[in-house]
Structure 1
Amino acid sequence: MLNLVLFGPPGAGKGTQSQKLIDKYNLVHLSTGDLLRSEITAGTELGLKAKALMDEGILVPDEVVIGMIDNKLKENKTAGGFIFDGFPRTVPQAEGLDRLMKENGTEITCMIALEVDEEELTKRLLLRGKTSGRPDDQNEDLIRKRVQEYNNKTTPVANYYEKQGKFFAVHGIGEIEEIFDNSCAIIDRHLAKAQ
């Protein structure tokens, strides 16, 4: 089973790359935002708990998010694996995810980080802001703040996976296919080792 953590700051191309990886490796996309919305819509116990917290403006605790991921793992036992998008964002989340994966008889295969410099990210997001209508993609100061926030919060998570020998950086500037091929080369090496 292939379990990927796809990492990268806003505008790094995670959405584009994750869809290509999902198609190639038959993965289930696990986005914590999507999970929260679907659990709330379905009216599950975890969804109701999350909604009550969100309605009060409180962040959904890690154990609730981990519980939602656990549900998704159990629902998709025949999947080729999972791609984690936007999670884990902190070391305690990464530790919780590792425990959960072990309970389900699997583990994170590797973390692929799309690395793009701040100037390029800013340019991409401002361009996206012209077509997406998203206000957070139209303000350069806000974009720089989001990138800085990402870097501050996620560097420890990258270090966590690096200590396990599972962190791999991919240069995120260039042709989409070239970035995809570089990511696949890392994944294929891991799959070959696991057999």
Structure 2
Amino acid sequence: MNLVLLGPPGAGKGTQAKKLSDYYGIPHISTGDILRAAVSEGTALGLKAKEYMEKGLLVPDDLIMGIINERLEKPDCRKGFVMDGFPRTINQAEGLKKLLDEKNTKLDAVIYFDVPKGELIERFTGRRVCTRCGATYHVRYNPPSRGNTCDKCGSELIIRADDKKETVEKRISVYEDETKPLIQYYEKEGLLISIDGTKPIDEVFEELISLLRGEKR
């Protein structure tokens, strides 16, 4: 089972990727994770990518594709993969298609998690993190029992800079400009499965498995 997960930041891609990984026994491939792994392993491509990352620059597509290729060559990908955070652009999608063609394989499905912008902003801005132990809460979904205090260690809870409204809106805007066109691209390819990402985690997962089995298509 070869899967790609699409959707805006905060749509639940990472959570569902882990559940799909466990269910199908295939690796969860996150672009950020494999970039960091390539850098820490000191591979030739990883060292090149490190130069860009240290300067705060985007890693070029040819380097990303090389690192993706290295990851897909590993034995745990023989049964498939669930890709989260890649591709981000049409150019990367075409690069991935070419790469898979060379391996005589293809994507089985591209899953798009549809969540309204207002809900995404609420998911991020409602998040609170403990300054001491790192425990995470949400004012709506998982509130602390004692106001703005961590239930585990009693320390203060804060809003991370990444979770502030203006930062979240910027991330969503970048997604809409760069990544949203992929929805149309994969729809034309006949691979897109759209799912309501506002439902509870387990409900989303059950519906996802049914769709992948072809029960609801």
TM-score, normalization by structure 1: 0.90
Aligned 8 A contact 2:161 2:167 in 1: no
CA 1:79–1:127 in structure 2 vs 1: closer, same or farther (change >3 Å)? Answer: farther
Equivalent position of 2:162 in the other structure = 136
Counterpart CA distance in 2 for 1:56 and 1:157 is 28
1:172 to 190, 193, 197: 197
Provide the secondary structure at the position in 2 that maps to 1:100. Answer: helix
Equivalent position of 2:20 in the other structure = 21
Structure 2 gap segments, 5+ residues each:
130-135, 138-158
Provide the secondary structure at the position in 2 that maps to 1:112. Answer: strand
Provide the secondary structure at the position in 2 that maps to 1:54. Answer: helix
Counterpart CA distance in 2 for 1:102 and 1:63 is 17
Which of 1 and 2 has greater Rg?
2
CA 1:69–1:78 in structure 2 vs 1: closer, same or farther (change >3 Å)? Answer: closer
Specify which structure has the bigger relative contact order, considering alpha-carbon pairs within 8 angstroms and separated by 6 or more residues: 1
Counterpart CA distance in 2 for 1:186 and 1:45 is 40
Count of aligned pairs:
188
Provide the secondary structure at the position in 1 that maps to 2:182. Answer: helix
Aligned 8 A contact 2:115 2:198 in 1: yes
Equivalent position of 1:49 in the other structure = 48
Counterpart CA distance in 1 for 2:189 and 2:22 is 27
Provide the secondary structure at the position in 2 that maps to 1:113. Answer: strand
Equivalent position of 2:62 in the other structure = 63
CA 1:55–1:129 in structure 2 vs 1: closer, same or farther (change >3 Å)? Answer: same
Aligned 8 A contact 2:10 2:120 in 1: yes
Counterpart CA distance in 2 for 1:128 and 1:79 is 37
Provide the secondary structure at the position in 2 that maps to 1:189. Answer: coil
Equivalent position of 1:193 in the other structure = none
CA 1:83–1:166 in structure 2 vs 1: closer, same or farther (change >3 Å)? Answer: same
TM-score, normalization by structure 2: 0.81
| Structure 2 residue identity aligned to 1:37 | R
Aligned 8 A contact 2:26 2:76 in 1: no
Counterpart CA distance in 2 for 1:5 and 1:11 is 16
Identity %: 44
- Give the alignment's Cα RMSD to 1 decimal: 1.7
Counterpart CA distance in 1 for 2:127 and 2:101 is 38
2:213 to 182, 188, 192: 188
Q: Write out aligned runs for 1:45-194 (5 A).
A: 45-76=44-75, 79-130=78-129, 131=136, 134-137=160-163, 139-189=164-214
Aligned 8 A contact 1:30 1:84 in 2: yes
| Aligned-residue offset at 1:98 | 0.3
Counterpart CA distance in 1 for 2:126 and 2:8 is 16
